[in-house]
Structure formats: C-alpha cells, structure tokens
Amino acid sequence: MIRETVNAFLACVVTFLLCVVAYPAAVYAVGHTLFPRQAEGSLIERDGKVIGSALIAQPFASEKYFAPRPSAADYNASAASGSNLGTTNPDLRTKVAERAEALKATSARPAPTDLVTASGSGLDPHISPEAALFQADRVAAARGMRPDQVHALVETHVDRTGELIGAPPRVNVLLLNLDLDRQNVRK
C-alpha cells in the first residue's frame, strides 16, 4: 500500500518533468527560433504600433471599411465565444433578421450567409469572397473610389490556398482594410 503510493507519486514527478518542463521547452525553443512571428501571435504593426493580429477579427463599423462577421463575443479577444444558439431558437431568427436589415438586404440582393451568422469563436478573421463583394460598392462610395478598383482589390485578397484539401476561399478582413487604407492614401 505504502509502496504503491510512493511509486505513484514518484512516477508523477518523473512524468511531470518530461511533459511539463522538457516538452514545452522543446516546442518553445524550436518553434520560437524557426517561426518567431507566428509564435508571438502573428501581430501586425503599423507606424510602430501593434494594431492587431492577422488571425484575430477586430470590429469595423465605418462605412469605408469592410465589416467582419458578427461576433457573439463582441470581438473580445480575451473572452472568445460563439452564440451557441440552436437553429430552432427564435432568438437566432430575430438576430439574423436584424443583421439582414442592417445590411439592407433584399430578396433581389440577399445577404451572404456568413454576414448574418455569428462565427464559432466570435473572432473569425475571414469572410467569404461573396461577403466581401457584397460590401464592395458601399466601401467604394464611402472612399470616393471606383467600384471596380475595390472589386479588383478584393480579388487580390481572395485566399484560395488549400483548395485541394477542401479549403473554402476566404478574405482576411483586417489585411484587406489595411491595404485599402494604403491604396487610398497613395491617390
């Protein structure tokens, strides 16, 4: 009985050193040396200031910016969550209806599905290409740009990598908006 207990606690110490000290240290050493930018969270700097992470959605409300997907967590990147609303929940229907109305969607110009539904993490950095094009004319008008300029810019931002493993095409909202700011300033 005593021997079993001693054995068990000793085995705990040994495995603790292996799994909690050695393993994370190895991952940190190799990962951080090979990929320092990703290891820190893919942060983006503009004018020397951290303005966000390429992987984390941040809110955009101005007309001149593309909006990300709705967030059940209000884009709080330290308390992420989805809505967890069931498809048959009337609250979800109400929310979808409100979002569709805010987007001025009509049956002739229906809103893309991803713009009226909350993402799983509340921090989805991407929207579908359709969702980007849906907003392109509004953005162009707010910036005094030609619609085809904005359309072309969206096109360059469509990420199609991983198509052969079944990855959906996607547009990173933060990167697109930053590029938009850069283009707009140049003119």
Partner 1 sequence: MPSSLSWLHPFWAFALPIAASFPLGWLMWRSLDVPEGRAGRGLDALPMLLCRLIGRKTPLKMDWKRYAIAMLAFNAALFVLSFAILYAQDKIPLLNPDGKGPLTALGYKDTAGVQHDGADTAVIFNTVCSFVTNTNLQHYSGEQHLSYFSQLAGIVWLMFVTPAAGLCVMLATIRGLRGDTHLGDFYVDLMRGVLFVLIPYALILAVALVGLGVPMTFEKAAAATTVDGAATKMETQTIARGPVAALVAIKQAGTNGGGFFGPNSAHPFENPSPWTNLLSIASIVMLPMASIVMAGLMLRNMKHAMVIYGVMLTFLIVAAVVAILAEVRPSVATAGMPVVQGPNMEGKEVRVGPIAGATWAAMTTATSNGSVNSMHDSLNPIAGAVPMTMMMLNVVFSGIGAGFENMLMYIIVAVFIAGLMVGRTPEYLGKKVEAREVKLAMLAILIHPLLICCGAGLFAATAWGTTTVANPGSHGFSEILYEFTSASANNGSGFEGLADNNPAWNIATGIVLLLGRFPALILPLAVAGFLSVKKRVPQTTGTLRTDDLTFAGMLLGTVLLVGALSFMPAVVLGPIADHLSSFVP
Residues across the chain: 187
Task: Tell me which residue of 70, 66, 39 sits closest to 55, measured CA to CA.
Answer: 39
**Which one, 42 or 149, has the nearer CB to partner 1?**
42
Instruction: Find the binding residues for partner 1 in span 104-123 (CB under 8 A).
Output: 105-107, 109-114, 116-123
**Which one, 43 or 183, has the nearer CB to partner 1?**
43
Instruction: Find the binding residues for partner 1 in span 31-90 (CB under 8 A).
Output: 31-32, 34-35, 38-43, 49-53, 55-62, 65, 69, 74-90
Task: Tell me which residue of 153, 163, 159 sits closest to 127, measured CA to CA.
Answer: 159
User: Could you say which DSSP state residue 93 is in?
Assistant: H
Q: Is residue 164 within the footprint of partner 1 (CB under 8 A)?
A: yes
**Applying CB under 8 A, what is the total number of residues that bind partner 1?**
105
Q: Is residue 126 within the footprint of partner 1 (CB under 8 A)?
A: yes
Question: How far apart, in whole angstroms, are the C-alpha atoms of residue 66 and residue 166?
Answer: 26
Task: Tell me which residue of 153, 151, 146, 148 sits closest to 176, measured CA to CA.
Answer: 153
Least distance in Å: CB of 143 to partner 1? Answer: 13
Name the CA dihedral angle for 94, 97, 102, 105, rounded to a multiple of 10 degrees. 180
* Region of 3-11, 137-145, 148-156 interacting with partner 1 (CB under 8 A): 3-11
Beta 158-159 vs 49-53: how paired, if at all? unpaired
Q: Is residue 152 within the footprint of partner 1 (CB under 8 A)?
A: no
Q: Is residue 28 within the footprint of partner 1 (CB under 8 A)?
A: yes
**Which one, 51 or 141, has the nearer CB to partner 1?**
51
**Which one, 110 or 152, has the nearer CB to partner 1?**
110
Q: Could you say which of 179, 181, 183, 184 contacts partner 1 (CB under 8 A)?
A: 181
Q: Residue 44: helix, strand or coil by DSSP?
A: strand
Measured at the CA of 48, the angle between CA 42 and CA 54, to 5 degrees, comes to 20
Q: Could you say which of 96, 151, 158, 179 contacts partner 1 (CB under 8 A)?
A: 96
